Amino acid sequence: MSVQLNKSQFRRIAKIAHDLWGLSLSDRKIELVANRLSRYLMRSRFNTVEEVLDNIERNPSREDLLAFFDVLSTNTTKFFRDTAHFAYVEREFFTALARGTLTVPDRRVRIWSAACSTGCEPCSLAMLALETIPDLERWDFRILATDLSIRALEQARSGIFPAQQVEELSKQRQKRFFERIDPQRYRIRQEVMDLISYRRLNLMEPWPFRGPFQVIFCCNVMIYFDEQTREKLVNRFYDILPSGGILAIGSAETLSGLETPFVSVQANMYRK
């Protein structure tokens, strides 16, 4: 069954997406949303788009809301997605910590991957730390990885990745950090998973922590937010970074035009 969305239905969907999750859906997305809704209708208890929307607008359960978020959101990701980001963190943060040219109180390092999807981003940061800081086990080192999507988080927590994603990594990284389960899948090693805590979090809502995080990655999610939402969000990041803290955003994203005190250090990388 293929769904046809009329303009009024699409406007209702866009309002829900914006009010609840900060997502800004342009009219160009109407076909994409219609296709995804068709698939959702096949597996949900609802028979029509009207039924789905009436439920979401009136009295949705938490599960219905999150399932609807999954209909609208995009989880595309890969390991070391923006290589320049990781090179910067390796050089300016991990290597500096390892050499002692940068110190942090109590050797406490906190990194936040703020829209981690299925886990490639926090795992890339963890692998990089293991490669760069030889005595990592003697540091209080944690990566907080959050996302709103239950489906993405379930996959992230499993530590299992499609072969295609893993085989884009160097042979050396594949060997050190992964074991093959079957021709389609690899499992990431426990030493990587042990550095990461996965939590569900809506970036639009109050955060149940105050930081500080020395590094925040918020990549390829602000592209879906409007300017006002982005400005508010990056200034909340600013508040939980210490002086000199690093913010990485996606390669198609920018802070230019936003009112924020962040200083640009390279393309799509900022410091407090």
Ligand X SMILES: C[S@@+](CC[C@H](N)C(=O)[O-])C[C@H]1O[C@@H](n2cnc3c(N)ncnc32)[C@H](O)[C@@H]1O
Considering beta carbons, is residue 35 or 102 the nearer one to ligand X?
35
* Candidate list 12, 110, 147, 230, residue with the active-site label: 147
- What single-letter amino acid sits at 264? S
As a whole number of angstroms, the distance between CA 239 and CA 216 comes to 12
Reply yes or no on whether 147 is catalytic.
yes
Considering beta carbons, is residue 92 or 121 the nearer one to ligand X?
121
**Binders of ligand X in range 87-146 (CB under 6 A):** 115, 117, 120-121
Provide, rounded to whole angstroms, the least separation between the CB of residue 268 and ligand X.
Answer: 11
- Token reading at 115: 């829209």
**Binders of ligand X in range 163-222 (CB under 6 A):** 201-204, 219-221
The reply to whether 149 sits near ligand X by the rule CB under 6 A is yes
DSSP symbols for 159-181: TEEEHHHHTTS-HHHHHHHEEEE
End-to-end CA distance of the chain: 51
Reply yes or no on whether 36 is catalytic.
yes
Which contiguous run of DSSP H or E holds residue 124? helix 120-132
Q: Rounded to an integer, what is the distance from CA 211 to the centroid of its chain?
A: 17
Print the binding letters for residues 234-253 with ligand X: x by CB under 6 A, - otherwise.
----------------x---
Considering beta carbons, is residue 25 or 30 the nearer one to ligand X?
25
Provide, rounded to whole angstroms, the least separation between the CB of residue 211 and ligand X.
Answer: 17
The reply to whether 147 sits near ligand X by the rule CB under 6 A is yes
As a whole number of angstroms, the distance between CA 61 and CA 189 comes to 36
Q: Contact 73/23 with Cβ under 8 angstroms?
A: yes
CA angle (128, 133, 139) in 5-degree steps: 110
* Member of 2, 8, 59, 76 binding ligand X (CB under 6 A): 76
**Binders of ligand X in range 5-44 (CB under 6 A):** 21-23
* Residue with the two structure tokens 């105050």: 210
**HSE of 130 in the Cβ direction (CA atoms, 13 Å)?**
18
Q: What is the CA radius of gyration of the chain?
A: 20
The reply to whether 72 sits near ligand X by the rule CB under 6 A is no
Considering beta carbons, is residue 78 or 102 the nearer one to ligand X?
78
Considering beta carbons, is residue 4 or 228 the nearer one to ligand X?
228
Q: Which amino acids are annotated catalytic?
A: 36, 147
Q: Which residues bind ligand X (CB under 6 A)?
A: 21-23, 73-77, 81, 115, 117, 120-121, 147-149, 152, 201-204, 219-221, 250
